[in-house]
Chains A and B, each alone.
Chain A
Amino acid sequence: MRIMPKTILEQTESNIEMGFQNKNVLIIEKETDSVFKNIFFYMLTLFSEKISSIKVDPHPFSLPKEYLFSDKHKKNLLKWIKRLDEMDHPASDLEFGKIKIDFEYWYYQLGGENIEFSYHQDYLLTPQAAADALGVSKVTLSKYVKQGLDYIENGTHKRIPKYTIEIMKDPIYSIRMQQIAQEKKLREQSVEERYHEITQELADLKLKYKKMTLDEAFGEYAGDNMEDPTDYYRWRDLEEEMEEIFRLRGGKEEA
């Protein structure tokens, strides 16, 4: 079932081509707005059995001219028109997840501040059910949630929308999902919140290695000869970042 008449899509496409050729700000702004609103509308309509609402901040996009006429923006617009042409019903969880993630990613590229999806109760999984579906422990699931596996707070409980299970099985989209969440967190997190997070992560490393300092845990840095230097770098960078925050706040470094 086609959701948008081909003629309208073709018209939009040729408007975009013309807008780019003539460097017409108004046309590109108008078409960007129209493509965005169309996807927004069709997501709510086509996936109404999954999504109950999508909230976005009410400010209109104000795109810098360099971005507006960039190849990236043009490519994105044309890609979305193709997507609108192909959008179909019913869509699998994977297809829905891909559209949702791409839409979110595009929204933030356009300078949006916050987009939130709400789901119907029967589209949500308990953390245990999600862990079982992914074949991981609940501890590992919490790690993924912390890294950006989509979830919603349901009172005091976390609930996982079903599409995330299929998305985790897609190596590219699972990166994208984590990337969106973490970039958003970076934008919103206060220095103090980050400081507490670092303290927690350092405590976890100390417990893991049963050592209080980086030197005790790893001795001398031995570069590529180390069996697994990941935690060495993690530990070192966390300490550096902590010191930087401390300095920024006018504190003195420990002797």
Chain B
Amino acid sequence: MQLLPADIDEIIEDYGHLFAVYPKLRERVSIYTDFKRTKKRLEILFPLKEHPFHGITGLKI
């Protein structure tokens, strides 16, 4: 059985309102969405809106 990749349309519809990108956060550092799909992998980076407590999550700066 082949596992099908996640349904991007559905994820966008359900959680799209939580996404945010960060252009020009610092000198030459911006955070945009990353999408990478091959026959074997689906890799997506969804940057999220700034959390009131945790801040901008998933960033390594």
**Chain A residues close to B by CB (< 8 Å):** 134-137, 140, 144, 147-148, 168-172, 174-176, 178-179, 182-183, 186, 194, 230, 233-234, 237, 240-241
Contacts and interface: CB of A to CB of B under 8 A. Distances in A.
Most buried by A among B38, B40, B47: B38
Interface in B10-43: 12, 16, 19-21, 23-25, 28-30, 32-41, 43
Contacts of B12: 172, 175-176
A182 B28 CA distance: 26
B1 interface: no
Contact of B33 (A135, A137, A171): A171
23 contacts: A134-B23, A135-B23, A137-B28, A140-B28, A147-B35, A147-B36, A168-B21, A171-B16, A171-B19, A171-B21, A171-B46, A172-B12, A172-B16, A175-B12, A175-B33, A175-B35, A178-B36, A179-B35, A182-B37, A186-B39, A194-B38, A194-B39, A241-B38
A60 B61 CA distance: 50
A209 to B, nearest CB: 17
Contacts of A169: 21, 23, 32
Contact of A135 (B29, B39, B44): B29
A144 B19 contact: no
B1 to A, nearest CB: 17
Contact of B35 (A137, A148, A240, A241): A148
Most buried by B among A140, A172, A183, A233: A172
B8 A175 contact: yes
B30 A136 contact: yes
B24 A172 contact: no
A73 to B, nearest CB: 14
A131 to B, nearest CB: 8
A174 B36 contact: no
